Structure 1
Amino acid sequence: MSTQIYADWTEANQRYLAALLSEIKAEMKPHMQQQQENDGLYNEWVAAKKFTLDIRASLPSPAAIDELCRVLNLSIFERKIILLCAGVELDEELSQMVFAFTQTSVLPTFRLALHTLTDAHWSALSPVSPLRYWRLIELTSGELMAGSPLKIDEQVLHYLTGVNYMDERLTELLESVENDDELVPSQQTLANQVTDAWSQTNNLVRLIQLVGADNSDKRAIAKTAAAKVGYQLYTVNAGYLPSGKNLSEFIRLWNRESALNNFALFIDCLESDLTDKSTLQSVTNVAENINGLTFISTTNTSLDLKREQVVLNVNKPTIKEQLMLWQMYLKPELKYTGQDLNRLVSQFNMSTKTIRMTALEANHQSQNGNPTKNGKSIWSMCCAETRPQLNELAERVIPVARWDDLVIPQQQKEILKEIAIHVQHRITVYDDWGFAAKSARGLGISVLFYGESGTGKTMASEVLANELQLDLYRIDLSQVVNKYIGETEKNLKKIFDAAEDGGSILLFDEADALFGRRSEVKDSHDRYGNIEVSYLLQRMESYRGLAILTTNMKGALDNAFLRRLRFVVQFPFPDTAQRSEIWKRAFPKQTPTKDLDMEKLARLNVAGGNIKNIAMNASFIAANDGQPVQMAHISRAARSEYTKLEKMLSSSEINYW
């Protein structure tokens, strides 16, 4: 409504309220003055009544008192009590009349209302009556119930005068949802489903469960749907909901505010532990007892509720919609090509809000003389925005190795490059060329690296991370695997769910902790171990990023499991020529060296990881001696490394040094 209409309503509403108070005073005077047949007082009441009706007819929309009585179903007598309690706050004459009756207080009593007002009934004071159930009035202390002073609720008093706001007892828990993002078509369809369900069932279906991992898109859908049916949306964190009597009071106050002001509630369960009985009970109680339009945001549909609800799965915008959002928000002067955008939406699954904020940041950097170069800056921003929070379950590895650092047979290098190609072009093959439509299974890029320790498996993962410009997370499966049934899957689920949006490279190190031959099932724990393996492979197959398993013992893997992996790469023990190449790369350019014989060093029969250790230890020895790294320093470091490996340093390896 316009400002002028609102101002007219406010003025008319206050005039109407003042007229109603005059009517109340005219009705009370004969009883208080013991002049029940006084024609003059009766005529005063008739005139006040007529004046009230005239003002009511001029109101552009219903007055606050009329809406209060209609929505909360107050009787005529209960309406008069509300006016009486409001009147002593707003009208000096009425407060003096009340004081003259009570002789002790300007607050009216129920006895006064029974004595002076028509249509009286005792049930108006019962705890289940609208006056007390909705906390419209409060009985202050008194020996007798009928003699207890009645005080109007402050928020209700302001509501009657046209000053509308959220009850402060609720504002401590609630937050208004402000979301200016326009819905993409797929999400607008969901918002329409909410409003259709609301209108087609005459507002009987009031509970909407929104299932998905991202809250920003769900809030936008809920806000759009609520606004379309005339509701303002507020959100509450499920973990902040009170319990016990406080929860009952919260539900009662919210139902009152929602009914009077058309408020809708969004219960955010994403960051709350619904396995906690207290939290789950609070959420369930609210969901089952809230009267107005209510949305519940969950990651699954595990809430067992006794009332009818609509369950909608909310996904991120589709790839085409994300592409459209980037094109809409990025400034043309950034010269971000269609190929660049295709790479972004292929790798990062982002909400409307995240795309908008990232694009605005890129635009801001461009305005401040820091333009993006070939999209690398925006790519880095997307990595940061979608970076998973894996805490103790994974370690983020900063990749430094590149193709030149990796010394493995050419055939293995070609396979690694093929893996990178699969990651880079999956949107073309899966979506544009239709492979995703044929089958949803096996679209994840799952890889096995096998070989002895130190042969380059982790380095190869770093090389891929650098090539693809993606975050790399190392997950030690020996830490993820839990002896308690079901806990391993929970840990794996946390990892994949957290990394899904950014498609980070997940490196599951030491897969031997989980894999075993299916034929070697000795008890229920072994059988359940196979279930854990199947779950891991299932998530790897559906994961939108690259997932890598490493093992020292390929023979420990069942062939049926191997068939479910996209790539299997062997990292052989390096031969003499490869060890020579590894030694050439072992020392940084800044390291001073003298008279190093790579041919002799290559005779040390150790893998690349051990060569790296020997080179570093030799550097420390040389630094302590104040000399450049020489063969003697490497000899001492090699003996130490062999002792750690419980190997004998043969004369053929060290001879002629």
Structure 2
Amino acid sequence: MTVDQKLDPHAVAMMRRAALWESFASIDARLEALENDTQPPEFKLAAGSALEALAAMFHLSTEEIELLALCAAAELEVTVAQRVERLTGQTVLQLDLADRMLPGAWDALCPEAPLRHWRLVELKGSGPIRSKPIQMDERILQFLLGTTYLDARLEGILDHVPAESQEDQTEVQRLASAWTSGERLPVLIVAGHDSLSKRKLCASAVAEIGLRLYRLQGADVPVDWTQRAALAIFVDRELALSGAALLIEADDETVRKAATFADLVSGPTILSAPDPEMPERTPRLRIDLEPPGRKDRRALWQAALGGDQGLQSADFDRLAEQFALDASGIDTAAAQARGAQVAGMAPVWQAARIQARRTLDRLAERIETRATWEDLVLPREQLSILHDLEHHLREAWTVNQAWGWSAKSARGLGTAALFAGPSGTGKTLAAEVLAGALSLDLFRIDLSQVISKYIGETEKNLSRIFAAAENGGAILLFDEADALFGKRSEVKDSHDRYANVEVSYLLQRMEAYRGLAILTTNQKSAVDQAFLRRLRYVVTFAFPDAASRREIWVRIFPCETPTEGLDPDRLARLSLTGGSIRSIALNAAFLAAGAKEPVRMVHILRAAQREYAKLEKPFAGTVLEAFR
């Protein structure tokens, strides 16, 4: 333990100021000799002053230390300031006087020498260089006086990250040891998507070795190289003055810019990004942080919510199983839930859904689900399968975790389903009903945007979608999958081989996906039997019979819609799918609203005629009898 550590901070500051003024006395003696034209005494740097610390930080030579002391003394010591004015007739220190007192002043004030490179001093004004005032940077002057603060030029760019206690000290020690085991500090490359956990970990690690942590957002790194280099100098200088390390947080868009900035900083640096680019600066060490597992997520939910929402143990289990959020996502969701007007599971679940959907919203179309089981008209067998599918997803945690199936084997625990049937028979509606019943998001995947003619691109697109969907276990709807899921063709060339690889890859991801992935097709017969065997559920949506059509007509109009004289038995004679029936009912409602009347059979007749014309079906015979 040093003397400084034994004394209180105020006593240490007083000792350093006394040492600083002792150095100023040496400067004053040399100026006095210059004033009297006598042999100047040798400059003596008092031990323990902040000048000594600056010399070590920025590798200053003897001449540079003396010049820095002269600049500081001219700013702070009245006697020295008066001598400068008598010697030059000016109230500021000029290069001419520095050169008379110190023959190496010209070299010490070279733009690339440490004093000016690190902006410790600057030459101000215009005119001949010999008459330019030498001004000490205020941040350096305050450092000499023992005042610690963040440079005003870095306010809003650097943020201080306070250290927090970490339960898992293994990773903390791992990062801390990387900066204590060698002579040169490596650039730490921390990979992973959980930015909040990485930030807390880095703050704890640098605190372990006695450093502060400043954070710089990758988006704040200037694009212009000159501005970037200037910022790097001020940041690097601040790290030395504050005894701090730098954490650069970047995303996929700013990671390259952040890596080039890390190359410009010589102090202790950490680059954090989902998948960081490796800077050229060496040595470097990459550490990949795994996202929190289910047990960790459960602990994070409990820590974030505690008893605020009145959740039970089983509720935390469901949240941890359903939403693969990182620490920042869980903290944000918990804060949103606490701000809701009601307590309980519902606001927490909804807040978690919002956090989980952020990435997938950019990759697929989210469908707002309002349909319920009452809106779905299907034969009993199909409804039974869909209800089984709902229970399968609702009890996934019980079977996979509590009953040990995931521990036995993680393979094949995903839920993949095929909805097959003609257009308009309720395939998409059934997916909406399932999503609404389970309070999950439903995303429709546009396969035309996913499938690429370039080899390997389709798999990359699918991988991004499934990786984003894992956060919330959303229901994925691969609509109109006929083009992708045809019978496997004979391999005649590389394109045939890779087309089959794409289908196999999608099925593998569907099987591994812990949520529900639904494929829809209009032609079940076109799907290869080998593919069908790998699907957990297959639901056939048949063309509705007369009884089903009658039931659809009974349920199709919202209770708020005024109707008059509608006959579901007669309307059931219209041989149409549920989708076409909905289209007719909606168009009839608009016709009735335009006529300021309730919906009557005459409005449905006009709407039905247009629907039949659209479908290129004859509107005659039994169809017309329904309206007589």
Could you say whether these structures have the same fold, taking a TM-score greater than 0.5 normalized by the shorter chain as the test?
yes
**2:113 matched to which residue of 1?**
129
Instruction: Give the structure 2 partner of residue 589 of structure 1.
Output: 559
Write the distance in 2 (CA, Å) between the matches of 1:499 and 1:254. 39
Q: 1:10 to 1:457 in 2, by over 3 A?
A: same
Contact 1:512 1:556 (8 Å CA) reproduced: yes
Rate the CA distance shift 1:489–1:597 in 2: closer, same or farther, 3 A. same
RMSD: 3.3
Distance in 2 between residues matched to 1:429 and 1:479, nearest whole Å: 35
Pick closer, same or farther for the CA change 1:435–1:607 going to 2, 3 Å. Answer: same
Mapped to 2, the partners of 1:587 and 1:3 lie a distance apart of 82
Higher alpha-carbon deviation: 350-359 or 209-218: 350-359
How far is the alpha carbon of 1:258 from its aligned partner? 1.3
Matched with 1:346 is 321
1:388-427 matches, cutoff 5 A: 388-390=358-360, 393-427=363-397
Alignment match, 1:647: 617
The answer as to 2:100 corresponding to 1:115 is: yes
Of 267, 272, 277, 2:248 maps to 267
1:224 correspondence with 2:199: no
Give the AA of the match of 2:75.
E
- Is the Cα contact below 8 Å between 1:326 and 1:355 reproduced in 2? yes
For residues 492-507 of structure 1, the aligned pairs below 5 Å read 492-507=462-477
What's the CA shift for 1:291? 2.2
Q: Kindly indicate whether the alpha-carbon contact (under 8 Å) linking 1:206 and 1:291 is maintained by their aligned counterparts in 2.
A: no
TM score, norm. by length of structure 1:
0.85
Query: 2:214 aligned to 188, 212, 234, which one?
Result: 234
- SS of the residue aligned with 1:519? coil
Question: Could you tell me how far apart the structure 1 residues matched to 2:228 and 2:98 are?
Answer: 32
Offset of residue 328 of structure 1: 3.5
Q: 1:524 to 1:235 in 2, by over 3 A?
A: farther
Distance 1:501 1:628, change over 3 A: same
Question: Residue 586 of structure 1: CA displacement?
Answer: 1.5
1:19 matched to 2:3? The reply is: no
Q: Which moved more, 1:84-93 or 1:556-565?
A: 556-565
Q: Do structure 1's residue 251 and structure 2's residue 245 form an aligned pair?
A: no
Written as runs of structure 1 = structure 2, the 5 A alignment for 1:173-192 is 173-178=157-162, 182-185=165-168, 188-192=169-173
The residue number in structure 2 matching 1:29 is 32
Cα offset, 1:147, TM superposition: 5.7
Deviates more, 1:299-308 or 1:6-15: 299-308
Does structure 1 residue 447 correspond to structure 2 residue 432? no
- In structure 2, which of residues 284, 287, 304 is the aligned counterpart of residue 312 of structure 1? 287
Q: Distance in 2 between the 1:586 and 1:310 partners?
A: 63
Gap change, CA 1:489 and 1:138, over 3 Å in 2: farther
Q: 1:80 aligns with which of 52, 66, 79?
A: 66
Q: 1:218 to 1:561 in 2, by over 3 A?
A: farther
Contact 2:416 2:510 in 1 (8 A): yes
Most deviating of 312-321 and 22-31 = 312-321
1:14–1:161 CA contact under 8 A, matched in 2: yes
Give the C-alpha shift of residue 459 in structure 1. 1.0
Residue-by-residue CA offset, 1:182-221 (whole Å, 9 max, x unaligned): 5453xx432222112222234x343222222231122111
Q: Which position in structure 1 is the counterpart of 2:144?
A: 160
SS of corresponding position for 2:198:
helix
SS in 2 for 1:339: helix
- 509-518 or 448-457: bigger deviation: 509-518
- Check the 8 A contact 1:393/1:491 in 2, yes or no: no
Asked if 1 retains the 8 angstrom alpha-carbon contact of 2:194 and 2:328, the reply is no
Distance 2:309 2:363 in 1: 38
User: Secondary structure in 1 aligned to 2:135?
Assistant: strand
- Give the conservation status (yes or no) of the 8 Å contact 2:334–2:351: no
Distance 1:617 1:149, change over 3 A: closer
**Residue 536 of structure 2: which of 566, 574, 583 is its match?**
566
Structure 2: gaps spanning 5 or more residues:
none
CA distance in 2, matches of 1:294, 1:321: 28
SS across alignment from 1:588 = coil
1:217 and 1:316 in contact (8 A); partners too: no
- Determine if contact 2:489/2:496 at 8 Å carries over to the other structure: no
Name the SS of the counterpart of 1:585 in structure 2: helix
Contact 2:94 2:130 in 1 (8 A): no
- The residue identity in structure 1 corresponding to 2:259 is T
- TM-superposed deviation, 1:460: 0.7
Shift in CA distance, 592/172, structure 1 to aligned 2, threshold 3 Å? closer
Counterparts of 1:185-224 in structure 2, within 5 Å, are 185=168, 188-202=169-183, 204-224=184-204
SS at match of 2:68: helix
Question: After the TM superposition, which residues 440-519 of structure 1 pair with which residues of structure 2 at under 5 Å, given as runs?
Answer: 440-481=410-451, 491-512=461-482, 514-519=484-489
Aligned match of 2:9:
6
What whole-Å deviation, never above 9, does each CA across 1:255-282 have from its counterpart, x for those lacking one?
22212222222222216255xxxxx2x3
Could you say which residue in structure 2 is the equivalent of 1:614? 584
Opposite residue 228 of structure 1, the aligned amino acid is: E
Q: Deviations over 1:63-98 (max 9, x none)?
A: 422211112111222111111111111122212222
Q: 1:97 aligns with which of 83, 86, 108?
A: 83
CA displacement at 1:564 relative to structure 2? 4.2
- 2:278 corresponds to which of 289, 300, 303: 303
The amino acid that maps onto 1:337 is Q
Between the aligned partners of 1:342 and 1:167, the Cα distance in structure 2 is 47
Counterpart CA distance in 2 for 1:302 and 1:526 is 35
How far is the alpha carbon of 1:499 from its aligned partner? 3.5
In 1, the alpha carbon distance for the partners of 2:177 and 2:400 equals 34
| Paired AA for residue 450 in structure 1 | A
Q: Residues 270-300 of structure 1, C-alpha deviation per residue, up to 9 Å, x if partnerless?
A: 16255xxxxx2x3332223422222222222
Structure 2 CA distance for partners of 1:63 and 1:451, relative to 1, 3 Å: farther
Alignment-derived partner of residue 324 in structure 1: 299
**1:537: Cα distance to partner?**
4.0
> Secondary structure, in 3 states, of the residue corresponding to 2:406?
helix
Q: How does 1:273-292 map to 2 (within 5 A)?
A: 273-274=254-255, 280=256, 282-292=257-267
Instruction: Indicate yes or no: 2:518 matched with 1:551.
Output: no
2:401 to 431, 453, 474: 431
Q: Using the alignment, how far apart are the partners of 2:109 and 2:619 within structure 1? A: 97
Decide which moves more: 437-446 or 641-650.
Answer: 437-446
* Equivalent residue letter for 1:284: A
CA positional deviation for 1:413: 2.1
Using the TM superposition, give the Cα deviation of residue 471 of structure 1 relative to its aligned residue in structure 2, in angstroms: 2.0
| Counterpart contact for 1:206–1:292, Cα < 8 Å | no
- 3-state SS of paired residue (2:489): helix
Bigger drift between 1-10 and 232-241 goes to: 1-10
Question: What secondary structure is seen at the aligned counterpart in 1 of 2:8?
Answer: helix
Amino acid at match of 2:365: E
2:510 to 522, 540, 555: 540
| Structure 1 counterpart of 2:330, one-letter code | I
Q: How does 1:367-382 map to 2 (within 5 A)?
A: 370-373=341-344, 375-382=345-352
Structure 1 residues 334 and 247: CA distance shift in structure 2, 3 A: closer
**Does the CA contact (< 8 Å) of 1:515 and 1:556 recur in 2?**
yes
**Displacement of 1:133:** 2.4
In 1, Cα distance between the equivalents of 2:151 and 2:501?
52
Q: Per-residue CA shift, 1:351-372, capped at 9, x if unaligned?
A: 334434544554565xxxx442
